[in-house]
Amino acid sequence: MPTVADLARQAGVIGAGGAGFPTHIKLASAVNTVIVNGAECEPLMCGDLHLMETRAGDIVATLRKIVDEISGRTGSEVKGVIGVKQKYDHAVKSFRDQAGKHGVSVLELDNVYPAGDEHYLVFEATGRAVPEGGIPLDVGVVVINVGTMVNIAEAVNGKPVTERIVTLGGAMDNPKVAFIPVGTAFGEIIPRLGVKIDDYVILVNGPMMGRVTEDMNEVVTKTTGGLFVLPKDHSHVMRMARPLSTEIRIGKSACEVCRYCTDFCPRYLLGHRLEPHKIMRVINYDRDLDSDTITSAWLCCECGLCDLWACPMFLSPRVIYREFKRRMREAGIKNPHRRADLTQDSYRPFRGVPADKLMRRLGLSEYDVKAPFDPAPWPVSSVRIPLNQHIGATALPVVKQGEKVTKGQLIGEIPEGKLGARYHASISGVVTAISTSHIGISGQVK
């Protein structure tokens, strides 16, 4: 009889809320705690909220199934915890109604950023601090996003991942939450929503850890949680688009070395040796030029609090860290920071950033609305499905150009012996293109 991990592998389930780690690997691990991440802490998003309000029973039952399977395999007790923001009162009630029936617990979280960060959530739920450079598995925990849990529930019923729930918002006449076929081009989505402005960009996956693009040929992937139309001249858009050279130039003239960036850094508050104000001293004043300061860049999770909240001068240690990581990666320099004996900062409980105040700081409050869910199938004329939307090796095509495929049919397989994920046709149609990076399918809009 196939395990939940086997079914998740067959269905192509990957982490829906992060970097896309293949979920079957997590489900096959030996842990003592499984945490469902329902914080949805990235501002503007509400797709996970919709799933929590409408699929709480499936999420809790699937969590129980996972917990029982791991417990049976390891011979030890495994706890199931659902972390959800207190403000999502309807979702909290739905979870509590179901949790008692299935022997799992509900952890209510403050409405702060970054409540959904894995390290933050693990500490809140278990009191354990994930080591420097580590993952929750290092402290006997796996964290699974609620969207991923719904995909696992579907996988148990034999349904592969072919759609992604996406929040569509910003300067639109008709913001909504909808299930979009994987591989759908932004150009097949945005114009249908009644864009209010002419000169705009698309914010992908939220204002804190997302990015902006003008490329309407980009496509929805299994990890695309939101698409938001913003004016090209919006202050936050201009801030996100600022090049590295400008960051360095402004930093040299404006950095006050106030260390607010460090005081609000969630990794520093958990005890990691990450002090963003020191990387600014390296860039601006040639100070702190020791190797630990430079290599600590590996510990930065790029949450954005240092630059988008803490810094009174709107400087960006995050961008500097990102550049150092890029250069160290190219030079083959690995992360030397592995401390596990961590002491949390005494101010940590008071340094969560209120989400509503964060929205005002970013100038995005007018777009911070709970978009309605549209249950109608999204009509798509064609899709271009990338074969590497996950951490690991690129999937190998198992179909040929000109072949007719049906929705849900396997089109990309994990290479033998590699970490990876499978891919399935998100629409029925004809395979029009195959490359080492993607598969194109043309269908008929109904």
Indicate the residue among 122, 156, 190 that finishes a domain: 156
Residues 328, 368 within the same domain: no
Domain total of the chain: 4
Predicted confidence band of residue 446 (pLDDT cuts 50, 70, 90)? very low
Structure tokens at 124: 């809140």
Map residue 318 onto helix, strand or coil.
Answer: helix
* pLDDT band at residue 285 using 50, 70 and 90 as cut-offs: confident
Domain containing 138: what range? 4-156
Stretch 334-342: mean pLDDT: 96
pLDDT at 286 over 80: no
**CA distance linking residue 191 with residue 196, whole number of Å:** 10
Domain end residue (candidates: 156, 185, 209) = 156
Same domain, residue pair 336 and 367: no
Mean pLDDT of 44-48: 96
Percent of the chain with pLDDT over 90: 93
Per-residue pLDDT of 356-371, as tens digits, reads 999 999 999 999 999 9
Same domain, 417 and 325: no
- Residue 436's CATH number: 2.40.50
Residue 358 lies in a domain: no
Specify burial of residue 104 (Cβ count, 10 A radius: 0-12, 13-18, 19+).
Answer: buried
Torsion angle, CA of 409/415/418/422, rounded to 10 degrees? Answer: -10
Same-domain pairing of 54 and 118? yes
Report whether 84 contacts 99 (CB < 8 A).
Answer: no
The reply to whether 26 falls in a domain is yes
What is the spatial distance between Cα 375 and Cα 308, in angstroms, rounded to a whole number? 35
Of 156, 186, 214, which residue constitutes the final position of a domain? 156
Same domain, 8 and 26: yes
**pTM for this predicted structure:** 0.96
Helix residue ranges, H only, 157-243? 235-240
pLDDT of 426: 98
One domain for residues 306 and 438: no
How many of the other CB atoms lie within 10 Å of CB of 187? 12
Residue 394 sits in the same domain as residue 348: no
> Does any domain span residue 299?
yes
Round the average pLDDT of the chain to a whole number and report it. 95
Q: What is the pLDDT of residue 169?
A: 97
Judged against a pLDDT cut of 50, whether residue 261 lies above it is answered with yes
Residues 373 and 229 both lie in one domain: yes
Task: Assess whether 136 and 166 both reside in one domain.
Answer: no
Total residue length of the chain: 446
Q: Does an H or E element contain 88, and which?
A: none
pLDDT band, residue 51 (cuts 50/70/90): very high
Q: pLDDT for 137-163, tens place per residue?
A: 999 999 999 999 999 999 999 999 999
Q: What is the pLDDT of residue 102?
A: 87
Which CATH number do you get for residue 223?
3.10.20.600
The dihedral of CA 179, 182, 185, 188: what is its sign? negative
- The predicted pLDDT at position 425 comes to 98
The answer for 133, left when phi > 0, alpha when psi is -120 to 50, beta otherwise, is: left
Indicate if 103 and 59 belong to the same structural domain.
Answer: yes
Three-state SS at 155: helix
Residue 270 counted as domain residue: yes
CA–CA separation, 28 and 21 (whole Å)? 13
State the CATH number of the domain containing residue 255. Answer: 1.10.1060
CATH of residue 38's domain is: 3.40.50.11540
CB 82 within 8 A of CB 41: no
Assigned domain for 330 exists: yes
55, 68, 84, 108 from 356: Cα distances, Å: 26, 38, 17, 18
Q: Is the peptide bond before 415 cis (omega within 30 degrees of 0)?
A: no
Q: pLDDT for 161-199, tens place per residue?
A: 999 999 999 999 999 999 999 999 999 999 999 999 999
- Report yes or no on 357 lying in a domain: no
Residue 303, in any domain of the structure = yes
> Is residue 16, in this structure, part of any structural domain at all?
yes
Give residue-wise pLDDT tens across range 15-37: 998 789 999 999 999 999 999 99
pLDDT tens digits along 373-414: 999 999 999 999 999 999 999 999 999 999 999 999 999 999
For residue 426, the one-letter residue type is S
Same domain? 186 vs 218? yes
Same domain, 70 and 113: yes
